[in-house]
Amino acid sequence: DAGITQSPRHKVTETGTPVTLRCHQTENHRYMYWYRQDPGHGLRLIHYSYGVKDTDKGEVSDGYSVSRSKTEDFLLTLESATSSQTSVYFCAIRASGGYGVREQYFGPGTRLTVT
Amino acid sequence: AQTVTQSQPEMSVQEAETVTLSCTYDTSESNYYLFWYKQPPSRQMILVIRQEAYKQQNATENRFSVNFQKAAKSFSLKISDSQLGDTAMYFCAADQGGSEKLVFGKGMKLTVNP
């Protein structure tokens, strides 16, 4: 399972409140990712990180921010949650191993409901 | 931008039968990697199989194999001897050449019936 945990696993929050989701990995992978999964859309990349304090936007980054102050932790923050951010959020790492290793492994997901 | 298309939203098959899931992609890169992921009802995303575009040989992992047609930009997944545990959403994904990012298709729901 690539040693990836996500917390919380479920959360219900109200519109306008800040929310932070945490992804933790134990295997020192350089690349980490946050996706959201919605019916009919597959997985869409929100933000990703290629090292401590190095992050970049994905295709659906509006309304989200991220931080990575340690290799093992990648945080996703919704500054002011909206109902459109109700989704399942997945964290992933890209496997390390040199040339040709490109696959990603996923955490168990967080179901977020914004009421 | 690279796109990945799974045109069949849903399929069902009888246990022990063979089923093929289709995927097409669009890229301008010469070398890239393709993946199939499985998501059972538990919601966990599981890597099923990977294919490197420069390799002509189709990848195989036990009952799972791919039919990779590079010129047609097609990457289908064949599941042989379907089992009830194969019931899941299946996602095709492609990396963007030298990019660190994957692009996913919208997924296909496979149901294996007893």
CA distance B108 to B89: 5
Query: Which range of residues forms the domain containing residue A65?
Result: 4-114
Q: Which of A41, A92, A109 sits opposite B43 (nearest CB)?
A: A109
Alpha carbons within 13 A on the beta-carbon side of B87? 12
Split into its structural domains, chain A has a count of 1
CATH number, domain containing residue A14:
2.60.40.10
Which residue has tokens 């729901």?
A: B109
- Give the amino acid at A65: S
Model confidence band, residue B27 (pLDDT cutoffs 50, 70, 90): confident
CATH number corresponding to B3-113 = 2.60.40.10
Q: Which of A40, A48, A100 sits opposite B101 (nearest CB)?
A: A48
CA distance B109 to B9: 6
Instruction: Judge contact between A14 and A77, C-beta under 8 A.
Output: no
Q: Where are the domains of chain B?
A: 3-113
Tokens of A34: 């946050």
- Spell out which residues of chain A touch residue B100, defining contact as CB-CB under 8 Å: 31, 48, 50, 94
Whether B91 sits inside 8 A of A103 (CB atoms) is: no
Residue B98: the pLDDT is 65
Instruction: Judge contact between A35 and A86, C-beta under 8 A.
Output: no
Interface residue of A94, A103, A110 to substitute, partner B, most B CBs within 10 Å: A103
Percent of chain B with pLDDT over 70: 97
Q: Which of A31, A40, A103 sits opposite B106 (nearest CB)?
A: A40
CA distance A33 to A55: 9
Of A21, A71, A65, whose CA–CA distance to A50 is shortest? A71
Q: Counting beta carbons within 10 angstroms of the beta carbon of residue A30, is it exposed (0 to 12), middle (13 to 18) or buried (19 or more)? A: middle
Instruction: Judge contact between A60 and A45, C-beta under 8 A.
Output: yes
Residue A35: the pLDDT is 98
Collect all residues with Cβ–Cβ distance below 8 Å to A52 and sequence separation of at least 6.
Answer: A68, A69, A70, A71
Each residue's pLDDT tens digit, A51-108: 999 999 999 999 999 999 999 999 999 999 999 999 999 999 998 766 667 889 999 9
Interface residue of A47, A102, A105, A110 to substitute, partner B, most B CBs within 10 Å: A102
